Each structure stands twice: as C-alpha cells, then as structure tokens.
Amino acid sequence: MDGFRYFEGVATLAMDENACVGCGMCAAVCPHAVMALQNGKARIADKDECMECGACAGNCPTGAVSVTPGVGCAAYIIQTWIRGKNIPLDAKCC
C-alpha cells in the first residue's frame, strides 16, 4: 500500500497451490493486491501486505487459501486476552 507497510513475516496467510482452481476470486476481493493469478493459478504475490481481513479465504471455493482473520484494534485484542478468543464482536471496539 502506497506509503504504508506494517510488520513483515507476521501474516497468517497461506496458500495450497494444489487445491487452487484458478478462479481468481481471491485476487478480485483482496484490497491490497496480495494475491495474483499466474499461469491459471493464484499465488501469494506480497504476503506482508496482507491485513488478514479474510475476504480471500471466505471466497475461495476449494479452501486453497487460508488465513486467520480478525479485527486489528488494540481494545479488541485486550478483550480477547482477558475473556478468551471467542468473544462476540461488539460495537465497543470499532
């Protein structure tokens, strides 16, 4: 993203190329152009741009793309530390 980079090597995004059918859905929904189509298959072009929104994984028809999606705000993450991972996303955080 122009002028903005966050940490490297932290994103949970992963790709199983054997399961990919090359539909291009992941590339279409990614807001950071992390995924790209090459020779009829999707590949991770820039993993460190991934913000783990989960759009690609949720729209992959074969489950070839996976990511642990979440809300990246500190207040919410503190809540998960205190109350556990499966707390409902309420309006408090963002």
Partner 1 sequence: MTEASKQPGNCCVPAADQKTGTDTAGRDCIASGDTALEPTAGRGYEPGPKPKPSSGPGSGGFSMTVRKETTGLSIANAAGPDSLFLAPDHDAGEPCCGPPPSPRSGVHERPGYKICRFVEHFIETPAGPVPKVKTDTGFHDFLGTLSARSGLSRNNYKIAPGLYAAGNPDAGSPVLVTANYKLGFDKLRSCLKHTDAWILVIDTRGINVWCAGGKALFSAGEVVREIKRSGLSKVVYHRRLVLPQLAANGVSARDVKRGCGFEVLWGPVRVEDIGAFLENGMKASPEMRRVTFNTAERLVLIPVEVYFLWKPALWAIAAAVLLSGIGPDIFSPAEALRRGAMAAAAFGTGILAGAVATPFLLPWIPGRAFSLKGALAGVVCSVLLLPAFRGELTALEAPALFLVCVAVSSYLAMNFTGSTPFTSPSGVEKEMRISMPLQAGAIAAAIGYWLMAAFK
Q: Which residues bind partner 1 (CB under 8 A)?
A: 1-7, 10-12, 25, 28-33, 49-55, 58-59, 61, 68-78, 89, 91, 93-94
Please, what is the minimum distance in Å from the beta carbon of residue 80 to partner 1?
A: 9
Question: How many other CB atoms are there within 10 angstroms of residue 35's CB atom?
Answer: 26
CB nearer to partner 1: give 36 or 41: 36
Please, what is the minimum distance in Å from the beta carbon of residue 81 to partner 1?
A: 9
Rounded-to-10 torsion of CA 66, 58, 60, 25: -120
